[in-house]
Amino acid sequence: MSDWLAVNDYVEFRQVNKLNVNDIVYLYTTAPIQRIEFKMVVDRIDVPLEESIDDSAYSLRKQPSHHYPKEKFIRLRLIKKTNAPQLHLSMLRNYGENTSMQGNHRIEGDLLEYVDSFFR
């Protein structure tokens, strides 16, 4: 992800959650980094395969996303990147994060306020 976003200001994912244009999304980087690093905004939803980007050169997947012909994609544009150690999973736990951060989920309240403070 970091390599891709160093060259591009957007990224696409298979669309699995109900998101709307202009929603804010925070991206968590898994081990060994284990912290939230990116604040993104939803630029586009329901992107068909033929309009999606080919990021296979940056992917660790054995089967690229482009092998899902009927699925839609969501395009996120980078707002800001941070390397704040305070956004490590162990610190997020102090603000109520109780998941492994491996999947998509909503953050709210004190946790959202804490996370967003590192992107202002």
Report the C-alpha gap between 63 and 118 in whole angstroms: 35
**pLDDT, tens digit, for every residue of 3-49?**
889 899 999 988 888 899 999 999 999 989 999 999 999 999 999 98
Nearest of 42, 64, 58, 77 to residue 4 by alpha carbon: 58
Encoded tokens for 51? 């309009």
Report the C-alpha gap between 45 and 61 in whole angstroms: 22
**pLDDT, tens digit, for every residue of 51-109?**
888 887 877 765 555 556 678 999 999 999 999 999 999 999 999 999 888 788 899 99
Encoded tokens for 115? 């996370």
Q: Which residues contact 86 (CB under 8 A, 6 or more apart)?
A: 118
Domains of the chain, by residue range, sit at 2-119
